[in-house]
Amino acid sequence: MQHNMPMENMKPGMHNTFWRNDQIMVVFHADLPLRSATFSNKGVLLDKLNPSLLKLFNDELQHHNSPVTLRFLDDSEEATSIEHATFSKVSDGALSKSPAGICLFGTNTPAEDGLPNTSIISFFHIRSEHYDDESLIPKIVNTLNDRCQTLNHDLHKDGITMAFAAPALLCGGTPKTGQGCTLLPPIPVEEPCRDWHIGLPDLDSDPSLQSSQGNGVTVFILDAFPERGVISRAAQDAGKANRLLQNVDKTAIFDYSLLSGIQEISIMENTHNAGAVKDVYGRHYSVLVPDHGLFIAGIVRDIAPKANIECIRVLDGLCVGDLHTLIRALEKINNRMLPPIPDTDDKENLYQKPVVINLSLVIPTDDQLQLQHITTRPHANNHASIIETSLRDALTNLTRNGAIIVASAGNEGDNREVPDGSTRRPMALYPAAMSKDNKSIMAVGAVTAEGQPATYSCYPGSDGIATLGGEFPDVQPGNSRFLGSDHPTVTMTDPLRGIYSSVEYPPLSAAPYAQYCAAPNTNAWAYWIGTSFATPIVSAAMARIMEAHMLKLEAAGSFLPQNALKARDTLMSMAPETATWDKVVGVNGTATGHMLKAVQKCRSVGSDDV
């Protein structure tokens, strides 16, 4: 971890980074299914993305005065030239790899409600001499969407249609705007406890769930993660002072294949070192918080000790990622949920097995993109925004295959930048907002230990759920003329305590010259708050309920989409308490929502016998 990150340019109120400036996204639909009962159509579908498609797009852009050239992406994120842009020989088998810029989503069941048999989510590299032109991305996206009907006239002969184009949006947090921001930096725990445990009274007291620990359920965590060696070193140093970290180190699977160190640098370069963290005063700054996902993994392991946890790095160390990386991760999961091809030894196949996907991240809103001159609803006959539809095809295919998506509602109720408290509590952001149309997607808000909605939490909706996320601490500024630069006094109220691997902690304040601080001990426990950390509590609860439902099935291993929905409904019925939400945007008076009670207590005092 670096000791310092540039903070001189991190001024509140800057709204200028919502997407990668070197890529765009285009979604195509195909009637041909990705997978049949006995073979894969992947090669045939990839062949439809041929040089003539790129030429068609580039000619259209040039004709409408967009001085750019689009190229496909290869595995190194370098552009593939038109002459070599053919993928028919790249992949014919079910288990072979697609090109980096092409993600194929299919389903186990026939398409319904007008949904395509296969969605082809594609990312194109932009080559231009005008990278500093802020109007470049809006010009490309709007031109392609405006010419969609004309383009489809030519594409139709290849058996595909273009659905829409969009920026390669950022996810996790969008910098300098508060969108998706981690509310506080992590803060070291000095309380002498070796085992902080989160109990779920409603589930723990139910006879059918007392022995359920998530066995046989796979929980995917798509987030930021430290390097693998850092985690193991921290577990060794902590020893008996943090058995949860040791457990995660030994049992969780970590996948860095989609976001290597080189790719992480590329994301940072193309997002201007975007950061997704606020200091203790609510000011935006770029600091390294790669332990965000590790903290989440610890919560899942604590509540569901036997679940299979797979951590996929899709966010960089600043807790920012892009849709290209996120959708590639979702594609990997979806491929494993499709029927296995006969005569293949696919030990990782998850066909008709219970799957939970934890998404403690958000993407930008319509309002933010419209301010950047993106037309978010380009087609008169389509009321859906490109913000929503950027993720809808991927997530819908996953839920049609039986996955439950658990997503954080967002922290945009934070009014620390509006001292008079005049802000309203927003509705859940995407992808959590998709829960209103898809019951297999669960929006998660945060409440305090007393069961009151956390002041920062978005409203998860009447079909969403809230659980413990903690509340803001009491902050007493230092006496320096640089606010907070002499280490403010922070008194935590009801934070979550979780595992943390770094030997350093970010500065508490974004004040000039603030430094990273050495951890006060090797116990590897940290305080953190936010909907990001309420979300894995629900993910782990779902894993325990899914195990119980799986044991009731007559045919072992046949965990169908309807079983996943029944498990989701069971969780809602087992959360009898409700939270009352105030100041909700678009709601007169108050709104209510489900609440899962969670209590964190120390199960083993002492930390000296390492």
What is the reported pLDDT for 93?
A: 43
Are the beta carbons of 222 and 331 closer than 8 angstroms?
A: no
* ω into 431 cis (within 30 of 0): yes
Decide if 388 is inside a domain. no
CATH code of the domain covering residue 96: 3.30.70.3310
Decide if 77 is inside a domain. yes
Of the pLDDT bands very low, low, confident and very high (cuts 50, 70, 90), residue 88 is very low
Q: How many CA atoms lie within 13 A of 262 on its CB side?
A: 5
Decide if 465 is inside a domain. no
| Per-residue exposure over 299-311, b if at least 16 CB sit within 10 Å of its own CB, e if not | bbbbbbbebbbbb
- At 393, which amino acid appears? D
10 Å CB burial of residue 371 (0-12, 13-18, 19+) is middle
What is the reported pLDDT for 15?
A: 37
Decide if 65 is inside a domain. yes
Decide if 167 is inside a domain. yes
Q: Is the pLDDT of residue 94 over 50?
A: no
Q: Give the separation between CA 498 and CA 244, rounded to whole angstroms.
A: 9
Share of the chain above pLDDT 70, in %: 84
Q: Which domain holds residue 157?
A: 19-171
* Mean pLDDT value across residues 379-400: 81
Q: Nearest Cα to 304, choosing from 540, 60, 25?
A: 540
What is the reported pLDDT for 191?
A: 87
Q: Nearest Cα to 528, choosing from 312, 265, 224?
A: 224
Residue 247, token pair as written in the block = 């457990």
* Mean pLDDT value across residues 303-323: 95
Decide if 425 is inside a domain. no
Are the beta carbons of 360 and 296 closer than 8 angstroms?
A: yes
Over its C-alpha atoms, the chain yields an Rg (Å, rounded) of 23
Q: Which is more confident, 43 or 3?
A: 43
Q: Which is more confident, 610 or 305?
A: 305
What is the reported pLDDT for 11?
A: 35
Which of 94-98, 119-123, 168-172, 510-514 has maximum average pLDDT? 119-123
What is the reported pLDDT for 8?
A: 37
* Mean pLDDT value across residues 500-520: 88
CA angle 450, 451, 454 (to 5 degrees): 100
Are the beta carbons of 254 and 222 closer than 8 angstroms?
A: no
What is the reported pLDDT for 484?
A: 52
433 Cα distance to chain centroid: 13
Q: Give the separation between CA 210 and CA 231, rounded to whole angstroms.
A: 31
The sign of the torsion formed by the CA atoms of 290, 321, 227, 246 equals positive
Number of structural domains, the chain?
A: 1
Are the beta carbons of 196 and 244 closer than 8 angstroms?
A: yes
What is the reported pLDDT for 134?
A: 64
Decide if 288 is inside a domain. no
List the single range of 345-349, 401-405, 532-536 with lowest mean pLDDT. Answer: 345-349
The string of pLDDT tens digits covering residues 366-386 is 888 888 878 888 765 556 788
* Residue that has been written with the tokens 């059918």 in this structure: 208
**pLDDT, mean over the chain:** 85
| Per-residue exposure over 439-458, b if at least 16 CB sit within 10 Å of its own CB, e if not | ebbbbbbbbbbebebbbbbb
Q: Nearest Cα to 441, choosing from 593, 350, 321, 565?
A: 565
CA angle 296, 76, 318 (to 5 degrees): 35
Q: Give the separation between CA 549 and CA 566, rounded to whole angstroms.
A: 8
Q: Give the separation between CA 105 and CA 564, rounded to whole angstroms.
A: 20
The sign of the torsion formed by the CA atoms of 131, 136, 138, 142 equals negative
CB atoms near residue 583 (< 10 Å): 18
Of the pLDDT bands very low, low, confident and very high (cuts 50, 70, 90), residue 515 is confident
The string of pLDDT tens digits covering residues 51-65 is 789 899 999 998 887
Are the beta carbons of 87 and 49 closer than 8 angstroms?
A: yes
Q: Give the separation between CA 440 and CA 459, rounded to whole angstroms.
A: 18
Residue 450, token pair as written in the block = 């007393």
Decide if 38 is inside a domain. yes
